[in-house]
A = this chain, B = another copy of it.
Amino acid sequence: MQSQKKSAIQPERDIGKQLRAVGITPTQQRVQIAEILFARPQHLSADQILASVNSLGTTASKATIYNTLGLFARRGLIREVIVDPVKVFYDSNTSTHHHFFNLDSGELTDIDADKVVVTNLPELPGDTQLEGIDIIFRVRSSHPHEEN
């Protein structure tokens, strides 16, 4: 049993492989960020991720957070969701799906792709190719709404 692997769970290794699989060198910071995001399907802002990383042992700078999130998104490990005018959400659920966005709470919720069926599609503008379709159901918490 000398030079054998330890039997303890090594999630870091797993994530390391996941990152290498898409050509990303798994640094300490990147692994931390990935661990947070990939723990479960969720929607986090850069700020939340920064806070989360720095609440654990290792810290990462704001610049690294943004660099890493951009890199992960370009490599398809996460998805950027633009629904809130003030900040981007990073979505660790990369399967095709849609969103409820609660305008009152700012909460973002997943909708399974098969819950929404789009039958008729428009033809694309000349010389463009489709990158993706975003469907957002904007909802309000139903208490008597004001206007003005």
Binding site for B on A (CB under 8 A): 74-75, 80, 82-85, 88, 98, 100, 102-103, 109, 111-112, 114-122, 124-125, 127-142, 147-148
Q: B137 near A122 (CB under 8 angstroms)?
A: yes
If over half of A's interface residues share one DSSP class (helix, strand or loop), that class is named, otherwise mixed; here it is: strand
Q: B122 near A119 (CB under 8 angstroms)?
A: no
The count of identical subunits is 2
Q: A137 near B142 (CB under 8 angstroms)?
A: no
Nearest 3 pairs between A and B by C-beta? A117-B120, A115-B122, A128-B139
Docked complex Cα distance between A139 and B98 (Å):
17
Docked complex Cα distance between A52 and B136 (Å):
31
A108 to chain B, nearest CB (A): 11
A133 to chain B, nearest CB (A): 6
Known pairs A115-B121, A122-B137, A124-B139; list 4 more (Cβ under 8 Å). A74-B147, A82-B82, A127-B142, A133-B138
